[in-house]
Every structure is written in C-alpha cells, then in structure tokens.
Amino acid sequence: MLLTWSGRAVGDRFGPARLLPLFIGAGYLLLVQDAPPDTADWLVTLAAGVIFLGGGAFPLAVSLAESALLLLAHPLVSETPVAAKVVASVALLELAVRRPPREALLGTAVLITAYVLLVKDHETVTGLLAVGYRVVVVAVAPLLLGAYLRATDRALAQARARAREAEARRELAARGARLAERTELARELHDLVAHHVSSMALRVNVARAVLPDLDPRVRAVLDDVYGSATTTLADLRRLVAVLRDPAAVAPEGGPPLVVEPAELPAAVAAVVERAVQAGLDVRARVDPGIAHLDAVRGLAVLRVVQEGLTNATKHAGSGSRITVEVAVAEGDARVEVRDDGGPAEVSGDLPGGPGFGLIGLRERVGLVGGTLTAGPHDGGWRLCADLPERCSSGAARATVS
C-alpha cells in the first residue's frame, strides 16, 4: 500500500519510521545549518520529533501541536528550525491521509495561520508573494497530496473488494455448473434405471400371464420380483421429482437425455447434422464400435461431441473446418473435436443444447474416470476426452489446458 511509510499497512502506528524526524533534524542542525545550534534549537527539534511519534494514533492532535510549536518556539529562537517546519508539514500530510477532509482542513487552516503569524514582511508585494508561496508549499501541497493518497488507498481497497467479489462469483458459477451437471446425471440415471426396471417388470408380468400353470413357489418369486420392480419405479420417481425441472429438459431438436447404446452412432450423427445445418463445415469419423459402450460413457461421448462443436463455433465460426473423431480401441473410447481457427459468423441455430459448459463437461468426464483436455491447438481449438473402459471410483482426473 501507499501508506506503508505511516505504519498503517502493517498496523504499527508507533514504528521505527517515526524516529526519522529526530535523526533528520539532528543531522540538519549539525551538518547543514550555518549558525551553530544552541539549546533552543535542540529543544524545538526534539519537541517536534517527540510530538510526531503520536501521529499514527492522534493525527489531528499532532498536527495542531506541531503548528502550535512553531508559534511557541518563535520567541525562543532567532529562526525556527527547518526540521520543525518539515515535521509540521508531514504531520499535516498524515492527517489528510488518515482522517476525514473536515479534520484535514482544520489542520491546514491552523498551520497556515501559524505561518502567516511567523512571517514579518506583510507590507510589500514581494513579502505577500513569499507568504503565499510558503503557505502553498508547507500547507496546501501536503493537503492535496494527502487527499490524493487517501483517494488512491480507497481505490485500491475497492479494487481488491471487487476482485474478491469477482472470484467469489466465479467460484459460485463453477459450483453451479458442477451442480447442474450432477443434476443432469441424476435425471439420466433415473431414466436409465427406470427404463431397465420397467422392462424387467413388463417381462415378469408377461411371464405370469402366459404361464398359468407355474409352480406356486415360482409364481411367488415372480410376484415378488414384479412388486419390487414397481415399488422401485415409484421410489425413483419420488426421489428425483425435485430434479425434474421442465426448463432443463432437452430442447426440441436437441440430443435426448438418455440414449440406448445401439442408438449412439445415430445420435452423434444427428448432433453433427445439426451443426452442418447451422452452417459449419464438419468432417466426422465415428467408429461404429461406440454402439457397444456402456450407457454412461455413451452419454459422455455424446456430450463431448456436442460441447466440442459449440466451442468450435465460438472460437472459429462457420468459416473454419471442424473435425470430429470418435474411436474405440480395446474398450477405451476417445473423442476429439478440433478446428483450424478460421473466424466467421455462424447462421442458424447453434449446436449445444441447454448450455453444457466445460466445467460441467469436466465434471461428467471426471466422474467416469476420464481425462478431458481443451485449449488452443495448431492455430485452432481442440477438445479431447479419453474415456477408459475400467476406472476406480473417485479417479477423477479431468484437466483443462
């Protein structure tokens, strides 16, 4: 901070820096002053330095006391020591920095009065100009400089506060994005589980209907399975009801919330087709093997392609060439979307659905143990996700470069 000299930055109002006026005054008397210093010179200089020690805690009282010292010392010395005048100006500067303007104006008025009373030549124009010059140098200049330092200190404090608020907003936005993605995952989990449980319940019910001569024990087991399935479906619906926000459902024409593995290649092709219809030049190479991925990783593949095309649109535009590659090797899936960086405007609806950002995508990929990288690449932009077949729980290691 600019106020380190006064001890304010470290909270030390009686620091060693306050002894400087004593050393400066002594040095001036011994080394600079033409006439040999007498006892009065030493007393006035010492008094000015001692009074200045309390400026950190009582700046108004110290400023008034320094001004009064100039008047009281005038009858005792032939010429008021320069050190006492300098300390009075510095005390006024500190007052202007530390206290409200009304107190600084009071201290300035008292110091100006003291200087006017000390100057003997008020008769000639030259004398009046000399008085005005002294007043400006020793009183007005410290007041203005103190006001400037005070305003700068306030501006720095406000800037730091705004920076903290901005950081807090960014953190809140990041948390919101992660929460939104986890909410989306919860909805997808509900749909996925509900689909399979419904299928199980339906088949069990069909078995009960078409096999009337079952052993009673087998029928009891089937009845129990059917009852458990229907109860599970009801519990699932109740538990995720609070997550069912109609505004968060996939928009018309967007990718579905849940995709059967066998339908994943077609879903990816649909997302690419929407990007082409929006005016993008997309070259896609999709491995049909993604149809054998599990449902969770399949959804992650779809979201990465969707977000990659959105990012390519933002960073490059319709004038660039975008490449989408989805490959499966030994059960591990890899998705890469990159562009060559050519800027242009995009017409039509942008691919991207309900706002899946990199933060949410990183959360999704990390939850399945994958690795996500995004950033500039060969003059363009690249988004790449590696989704391993097997991963330990908690092995989230998604990064953004």
Given a contact cutoff of 8 angstroms between Cβ atoms, the answer to whether 340 and 315 are in contact is: no
Give the three-class secondary structure for 397: coil
Q: How far apart are CA 127 and CA 104, in angstroms?
A: 27
pLDDT for residue 344: 43
Last residue of a domain, one of 243, 267, 292: 243
pLDDT greater than 60 at residue 64: yes
Tens of pLDDT, residues 216-241: 888 788 888 887 777 777 666 655 65
Same domain, 256 and 221: no
pLDDT greater than 50 at residue 70: yes
Same domain, 233 and 257: no
Query: What is the CATH number for 261?
Result: 3.30.565.10
Structural domain count of the chain: 3
Same domain, 213 and 289: no
Q: What average pLDDT does the segment 170-199 reach?
A: 74
pLDDT for residue 78: 61
pLDDT greater than 70 at residue 148: yes
Tens of pLDDT, residues 334-352: 999 988 876 544 333 334 4
Same domain, 259 and 371: yes
Q: Which residues pair with 384 in a beta bridge?
A: 336, 373
Whether 145 is in a domain gets the answer no
Whether 143 is in a domain gets the answer no
Range of the domain at 203: 178-243
Last residue of a domain, one of 118, 141, 161: 118
Q: How far apart are CA 73 and CA 176, in angstroms?
A: 69
b/e map 342-372, b = 16+ CB within 10 Å = eeeebeeebbbbeebbbbbbbbbbbbbbbbb
* Strand ranges in 330-367 using DSSP code E only, listed in sequence order: 332-339
Last residue of a domain, one of 219, 243, 267: 243
Same domain, 184 and 286: no
Tens of pLDDT, residues 243-270: 554 444 444 445 555 567 788 888 898 8
Whether 124 is in a domain gets the answer no
> What share of the chain in percent tops pLDDT 70?
74
Whether 163 is in a domain gets the answer no
Q: How far is CA 235 from CA 166, 197, 221, 261, 329, in A?
A: 41, 12, 21, 25, 38
Whether 18 is in a domain gets the answer yes
Same domain, 317 and 255: yes
Cβ neighbour number for residue 16 with a 10 Å cutoff: 8
Same domain, 293 and 225: no
Whether 144 is in a domain gets the answer no
Q: What average pLDDT does the segment 181-191 reach?
A: 71
Nearest-CA neighbor of 262 among 297, 291, 300? 291
Specify burial of residue 43 (Cβ count, 10 A radius: 0-12, 13-18, 19+): middle
What is the amino acid identity at position 291? Answer: A
Tokens of 388: 């391993």
Tens of pLDDT, residues 290-313: 888 887 788 888 888 988 887 777
Nearest-CA neighbor of 305 among 272, 260, 257? 272
DSSP 251: P
Tens of pLDDT, residues 350-367: 344 434 467 778 877 887
Q: How far apart are CA 12 and CA 118, in angstroms?
A: 34
Whether 221 is in a domain gets the answer yes
Q: What average pLDDT does the segment 62-83 reach?
A: 77
Same domain, 65 and 184: no
Same domain, 352 and 266: yes
Same domain, 378 and 301: yes
Q: Say if pTM beats, i.e. exceeds, 0.85.
A: no
Given a contact cutoff of 8 angstroms between Cβ atoms, the answer to whether 69 and 88 are in contact is: yes
Same domain, 256 and 239: no
Whether 398 is in a domain gets the answer no
Same domain, 316 and 345: yes
